Amino acid sequence: MAEIEECIFCKVAHGKLPAYILYKDDFVVAFHDINPQAPVHVLVVPTRHISDLEAAAEQEPEIVGRMFQVAAKVAGDLNVAKNGYRLVLNNGVGAGQIVPHLHLHVMSGRRFGWPPG
């Protein structure tokens, strides 16, 4: 599935919903979260609609590596790589996934607790 009309991250990826975009190529888009939970809070999403990790494993497993690669690039570009950053992937409703389009949270700029809430 290339694009789903009612999906907000498909809309961002295809320029139909405004977002502060930090990185974009044919496969992945990175943009600031609209409701940041840390001083740095970026979302990395595949351009094609992929609902979750299971769908990615089935349809396009290489996109997962690409998402992590872009997360590391964004962390470097925002100068948070040295201090450290947290990557979060809420997979499935029970884990807190609200937007059903695979995404990686890149968060930094404050201390993070463990275990996560």
**34 touching ligand 5GP, by CB under 6 A:** yes
- Is the peptide bond preceding residue 61 cis, with omega within 30 degrees of 0? no
Q: In what order do the strands lie in the sheet with 21-24?
A: 21-24, 28-32, 40-46, 104-108, 86-88
Residues assigned a catalytic role: 103
**96 touching ligand 5GP, by CB under 6 A:** yes
Q: How many CB atoms lie within 10 A of CB 117?
A: 5
Which residues 36-55 are close enough to bind ligand 5GP by CB under 6 A?
Answer: 43
**8 touching ligand 5GP, by CB under 6 A:** yes
Q: Which of 6, 26, 35, 82 binds ligand 5GP (CB under 6 A)?
A: 35
**113 touching ligand 5GP, by CB under 6 A:** no
Q: How far is the CB of 39 from ligand 5GP (least distance, A)?
A: 14
Q: Is residue 21 within 8 Å of residue 31, measured between CB atoms? A: yes
Helix (H, G, I), strand (E, B) or coil at 11: helix
Residue 1 in tokens: 């599935």
**64 touching ligand 5GP, by CB under 6 A:** no
The site for ligand 5GP (CB under 6 A) is made up of 8, 17, 19, 31, 33-35, 43, 90, 96-99
